[in-house]
């Protein structure tokens, strides 16, 4: 049995409401509270993963701006170090959650690859940060290559322990190329081995370009793929 998984930008009020409802449902289940909002401004872009047109996941890409990033609330000193590097464009992943019956790792790879392409093309991101519960640290290290930064802190917005993690965006492109060529240990031990094909990547890049040239409704989904139904559980702040 399979579903059609699609990735879409949350650009309408209905999309945003669905993403917020999903986020609060999953955060409440984890004990993080149920009154969280997703920023709606030029420095934030929210992505939706849909299965047969039903939202099953969401993540938001935040780009450093005068107002700062969400991670500054707990890890500003660490973030400022990355900001200080010449040519740096610091970004963060936040508000990440999936339904209990979520797509398998291939579908997570599809989501992360799309966010990477968007951040690179639209914002020239150089450094990617994410704040996670320490029990998820191993996933981000082994599956995407994130590196822990600093000590554990408590995030007051969710009243839970928090670990800052960092990924050099240039390493993402190298990992993708390595997996496609069949070289490197990442091929069998990370999400990169399940990232989009070169052809699918081209589809997303074209659709992102089309969005800037026409009504976004004409390119509603950035990518679609038929995938098997699977279950797992991942969430992060």
Q: What share of the chain is helix, strand, coil (3-state, %, to 5)?
A: 40, 30, 30
For residue 85, what is the DSSP state? S
User: What is d(CA 155, CA 17) in angstroms, rounded to the nearest whole number?
Assistant: 25
> Per residue in 142-151, pLDDT tens?
999 999 999 9
User: What is d(CA 61, CA 135) in angstroms, rounded to the nearest whole number?
Assistant: 22
Confidence of residue 66 (pLDDT cuts 50, 70, 90): very high
CA distances from 56 to 11, 60, 178, 219 (A): 17, 14, 30, 20
**Of 113, 140, 134, 107, nearest in space to 232 by CA:** 107
The neighbour count for residue 44, using CB atoms within 10 Å, is 19
Which range among 37-46, 74-83, 101-110, 224-233 shows the weakest confidence by mean pLDDT?
224-233
User: What is d(CA 31, CA 24) in angstroms, rounded to the nearest whole number?
Assistant: 10
Q: How many domains does the chain have?
A: 1
* Contact assessment for residue 7 and residue 118, using Cβ atoms and an 8 Å cutoff: no
- The residue that leads in pLDDT, 7 or 183, is 7
Is the pLDDT confidence value at 235 over 70? no
* Domain boundaries, position 56: 2-236
DSSP per residue over 96-149, as a string? EEE-SB---HHHHHHHHHHHHHHHHHHH---EEEEEE-GGGHHHHHHHH--EEE
Identify the top-confidence range among 60-64, 189-193, 208-212, 219-223.
60-64
User: What's the whole-model pTM score?
Assistant: 0.89
> Per residue in 147-191, pLDDT tens?
999 999 999 999 999 999 999 999 998 999 888 887 654 445 789
Q: What pLDDT is stored for residue 144 in this prediction? A: 94
Q: Which residue has the tokens 């091929």?
A: 187
Is the pLDDT confidence value at 74 over 60? yes
- The residue that leads in pLDDT, 175 or 235, is 175
Write down the mean pLDDT value for the chain. Answer: 87
Which range among 47-51, 65-69, 74-78, 225-229 shows the weakest confidence by mean pLDDT?
225-229
Q: What pLDDT is stored for residue 170 in this prediction? A: 93
* Contact assessment for residue 44 and residue 61, using Cβ atoms and an 8 Å cutoff: yes
For position 29, which CATH number holds?
A: 3.40.630.30
Q: What pLDDT is stored for residue 184 in this prediction? A: 53
User: What is d(CA 190, CA 144) in angstroms, rounded to the nearest whole number?
Assistant: 6
């Amino acid at each position: 049995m399979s579903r059609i998984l699609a990735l879409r930008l949350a650009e309408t009020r209905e999309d945003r409401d669905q993403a917020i409802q999903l986020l609060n449902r999953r955060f409440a289940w984890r004990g993080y509270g149920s009154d969280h909002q997703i920023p709606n401004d030029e420095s934030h872009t929210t992505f939706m993963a849909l299965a047969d047109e039903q939202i099953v996941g969401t993540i938001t890409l935040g780009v450093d701006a005068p107002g700062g990033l969400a991670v500054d609330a707990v890890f500003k000193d660490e973030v400022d170090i990355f900001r200080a590097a010449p040519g740096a464009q610091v970004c963060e992943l936040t508000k990440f959650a999936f339904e209990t019956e979520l797509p398998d790792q291939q579908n997570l790879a599809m989501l992360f690859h799309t966010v990477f392409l968007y951040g690179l093309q639209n914002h020239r991101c150089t450094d990617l940060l994410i704040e996670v519960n320490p029990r998820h640290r191993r996933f981000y290290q082994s599956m995407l290559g994130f590196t822990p930064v600093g000590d554990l802190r408590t995030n007051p917005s969710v009243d839970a322990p928090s670990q800052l993690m960092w990924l050099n965006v240039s390493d993402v492109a190298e990992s993708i190329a390595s997996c496609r060529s069949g070289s490197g240990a990442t091929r069998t031990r990370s999400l990169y081995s399940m990232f989009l094909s070169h052809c699918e990547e081209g589809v997303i890049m074209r659709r992102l370009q089309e969005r800037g040239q026409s009504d976004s409704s004409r390119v509603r989904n950035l990518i679609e793929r038929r995938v098997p139904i699977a279950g797992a559980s991942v969430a992060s702040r």
